Amino acid sequence: MIAERPKQFLFIALFLASALPFVGSATALVVGALFAMVLGNPFAIQSQKISKWMLKLAVIGLGFAVDFSQVIEVGRSSIVLTIVSITAIIGLGEILSQLFKLNKNTGVLISFGTAICGGSAIAAMAPVIKAKDHEVAISLAVVFLLNALGLVLFPMIGHYFGLTEHQFGVWAALAIHDTSSVVGASAAYGASALAIATTIKLTRAMWIIPYTSIAGVFWKSDEKASIPLFIFGFLAAALINSSFPEYQTLWHALNVGAKQVLIMTLFLIGSGLSISVLKQAGIKPFIMAMILWIIVSSIILLLIVDGFIS
C-alpha cells in the first residue's frame, strides 16, 4: 500500500493530467474510480465539494457554444415530451419499487433521479419527502454507478446503431441520469451532440420545481426546492454567445476550457466511487434502478430511431 503523502501527490498528478487535451471523459472517470477503489481517495471530502463547483463552471462555459435561440426552441418544442416522459418514468419507478419491496422514499428518489437529472433531482426531492440520510446516500450511490456505466456505454451503443449527433444528443439527455455524465458522453460523441444534449438536459432540470411541489402536496411538506442556479449561467453564456458573434474566438476558447474542466470534474466524480459505496447501495435498489434505466433508455432509443422523437 502506498504511503499517504505519495498517494496524495499521485492523486493530484492524475487530476492535473486529466486536463490534457488527449484525455477523454470515460478515461478520466474510470481512472478516478480505479484509484479510489485500489488506493482510496486521499481527498474524499474535498473532491466531493470541488467537483460540484467545477461541474457548475463547466456547464456554464459550455453555454458559450450554444445558440440562445436553440435553447428557446428546444424548451418550447419539448414541453409535452418532457411532461409525459418524466411522469411515465416516475410511475414505472413506483411500480418497480413495489415489486422489489423497496423502501418507499428510496424508490421515489431513484425514480425521480432517473426521470429528471440524477443527483440534483435527488438532492431537491429528499427534504420534500423527508428522506433519511441513508435513503439519500443509497439513492445517490445507485445513480452514481449507473451514470458511470452510461458515460462509457452510451457512445458505443450510439455508434453501433449509427445515431446522428442530433439523435445521440437527444437520447443522452433523456436517458442518462446526471448532467455530468450527459455532458461527458455527448462530448465524446461530437460537438453538435454536446450542444443538443446539454440544452435539453438543463431545460429538463427546470422541471425539478413543479414536480417537487406536487410531491410536497402528497407528503404534506412545507419544504421548497430551488432550481440549480448554474442553469441561468448556462443561459446567460448562450445569450452572450449569440449577441456578440464578433468575439467568437473568445467564446470558443472559453468553451474549450469548459470541456477540459468537465473532464477534470469527471476524474473527481470517479474518485468518489469506493467499495463502501458499492456495499452501501446494496443489490435490490441497484437491480430496480438498472431495470428502470434499461426500459427507459431502450424505449427512448427505439422512438428516436423510428422517428417518433426528433
Residue-wise pLDDT tens digits, 151-178: 889 999 999 999 999 999 999 999 998 8
Say if residues 110 and 288 touch (Cβ distance below 8 Å): yes
**Contact 172/145 with Cβ under 8 angstroms?**
no
* Secondary structure class of 241 (helix, strand, coil): helix
Distance CA 266, CA 33 (A): 10
Select, from the ranges 50-59, 66-75, 105-114, 210-219, the one with the highest average predicted confidence (pLDDT). 105-114
pLDDT number for residue 58: 85
Instruction: Report CA 300 to chain centroid distance, whole Å.
Output: 17
- What are the helix and strand counts (H, E) for the chain? 16, 0
Q: Is the pLDDT of residue 94 over 60?
A: yes
Q: What is the b/e burial string over 229-246, where b = at least 16 CB atoms within 10 angstroms of the residue's CB? A: ebbebbbebbbbbbeeee
Label residue 227 by pLDDT band (50, 70, 90).
low
Length of the chain in terms of residues written: 310
- For 43-66, what is each residue's pLDDT tens digit? 988 988 898 888 888 888 888 988
The reported pTM is: 0.80
Least confident span in 67-76, 79-88, 158-167, 223-232: 223-232
d(CA 81, CA 51): 31
Task: Evaluate the CA torsion angle 308, 63, 60, 256 in order and state its sign.
Answer: positive
**176 within 8 A of 185, measured Cβ to Cβ:** yes
Q: 220: exposed, middle or buried (C-beta count within 10 Å: 0-12, 13-18, 19+)? A: exposed
Give pLDDT, residue 224: 61
Instruction: Tell me if residue 164 falls in helix, strand or coil.
Output: coil
Sorting pLDDT into bands at 50, 70 and 90, what band is 280? Answer: low
CA 79 to chain centre: 20
> Given the C-alpha cell 420545481, which residue does it identify?
209
CA-wise closest residue to 152 among 108, 174, 184, 193: 184
Name every residue whose Cβ is closer than 8 Å to that of residue 3 and which is 6 or more positions away in sequence.
none
Nine-digit cell string for 274: 469506493
Q: Which of 142, 143, 138 is nearest to 118 (CA)?
A: 143
